[in-house]
Chain A
């Protein structure tokens, strides 16, 4: 069993999220970077070269896990939550291909989660185990997880790792390769 862990950080209830931020610039306490919040899209943006770019959710992986067909890969997420009780929030685990046009989900697992009411941040963890299928592509090496939805609902929170997997065994190993004959046809 191979494992990967992701930390989604702090999850807030949807109402709290929309009332917490107004349009404007904020300082990301984790990176020290200035970020702009747009309440219309509910997204943070960074300014690069005069262009607002949505804040990325894919990150450099802390480790690369080699997997091959038939292997089991357990992805564990952790996050913290405080707020009213939420029923039916979805935790989504994805393996796929991250590129210019976003994340192409090729393997997906979902878990429905109920979060009890709490006035202080409570830690949560969950995990999903994938079995690497026969049709795995050599470029299925990115993963991301998110939590979203439910009632009254949590804002979509995404976190992912780029090039987190090494898909092994798809390239044939050839030995004893020799020319045995050649003839005119």
Chain B
């Protein structure tokens, strides 16, 4: 009797973070390279809609990783940090996000799904649960949203009596 087993990477479990938290991501990989090299490790949360995956640009993190030359595949573990910049600072909104980590040999602002493709990429959907942004709908937000309408009403209130006055003069 034989026991036939297959090993597959475990899916990451969803974890809740607060806006403003700093997150450290660990990646494992094997590599070969003819000469010592430095690669750039990127990380960012992403969201998905009908147009595909989109990075939250304000939360991209990067670290540089040195790879000593090796002709045979060598195991490597590396880490990269990123900050969940709060929405109030043009950052991330509360919600559920995927986590993407990718490797490029040159510095680039392109996302990992664009051409030129990165040397390696891993992304997992719905593993970042972001909360803790200040709730919207406070007195400040309400005032901000109705301010244009208030201004228009006030202007109308000033203009209408003036127009009525002009109309009266022309009848004489």
- Give chain A's interface residues, CB within 8 Å of chain B: 68-70, 134-136, 168-185
Q: Tell me whether B22 and A177 are in contact (CB under 8 A).
A: no
Q: Tell me whether A174 and B81 are in contact (CB under 8 A).
A: no
- Which among A176, A184, A185 is the interface contact of B28 at CB below 8 angstroms? A176
Which residues of chain A have C-beta atoms less than 8 A from B119's C-beta? 171-174
Query: How far is it, in angstroms, between the C-alpha of A78 and the C-alpha of B50 when the chains are bound?
Result: 63
Query: How far is it, in angstroms, between the C-alpha of A69 and the C-alpha of B71 when the chains are bound?
Result: 11
- Which among A68, A173, A183 is the interface contact of B23 at CB below 8 angstroms? A183
Query: How far is it, in angstroms, between the C-alpha of A172 and the C-alpha of B78 when the chains are bound?
Result: 15
Q: Tell me whether B29 and A170 are in contact (CB under 8 A).
A: no
In the A-B complex, list the 8 residue pairs whose CB atoms are closest, starting with the nearest.
Answer: A169-B34, A177-B120, A172-B33, A174-B120, A177-B29, A181-B26, A182-B25, A185-B24
Q: Which residue of B lies closest to A182 (CB)?
A: B25
22 contacts between A and B (CB under 8 A): A134-B36, A135-B35, A169-B35, A170-B33, A172-B105, A173-B32, A174-B103, A174-B119, A174-B120, A175-B73, A175-B120, A176-B28, A176-B30, A177-B28, A177-B101, A177-B122, A178-B28, A178-B29, A178-B122, A179-B26, A181-B26, A185-B22
Whether B99 is near chain A, meaning CB under 8 Å from some CB there, is yes
Query: How far is it, in angstroms, between the C-alpha of A178 and the C-alpha of B127 when the chains are bound?
Result: 14
Q: Tell me whether B127 and A182 are in contact (CB under 8 A).
A: yes
Q: Tell me whether B127 and A171 are in contact (CB under 8 A).
A: no
- Which among A172, A181, A182, A184 is the interface contact of B32 at CB below 8 angstroms? A172
Query: How far is it, in angstroms, between the C-alpha of A177 and the C-alpha of B33 when the chains are bound?
Result: 15
- Give chain B's interface residues, CB within 8 Å of chain A: 9, 12, 15, 17, 21-37, 39, 67, 69, 73, 77, 81, 99, 101, 103, 105, 119-122, 124, 127
Q: How far is the CB of B99 from chain A (nearest CB, A)?
A: 6
Which residues of chain B have C-beta atoms less than 8 A from A180's C-beta? 26-28, 77
Q: Tell me whether A179 and B99 are in contact (CB under 8 A).
A: yes
Q: How far is the CB of B119 from chain A (nearest CB, A)?
A: 5
Which residues of chain B have C-beta atoms less than 8 A from A134's C-beta? 35-36, 69
Known: A171-B33, A172-B105. Contact between A179 and B24, CB under 8 A? Answer: no
Which residues of chain B have C-beta atoms less than 8 A from A174's C-beta? 29-31, 39, 103, 119-120
Q: How far is the CB of B6 from chain A (nearest CB, A)?
A: 15
Q: How far is the CB of A172 from chain B (nearest CB, A)?
A: 4
Q: Tell me whether B9 and A178 are in contact (CB under 8 A).
A: yes
Known: A174-B119, A177-B120. Contact between A182 and B24, CB under 8 A? Answer: yes
Q: How far is the CB of A88 from chain B (nearest CB, A)?
A: 37
Which residues of chain A have C-beta atoms less than 8 A from B22's C-beta? 184-185
Which residues of chain B have C-beta atoms less than 8 A from A179's C-beta? 12, 25-27, 99, 101, 122, 124
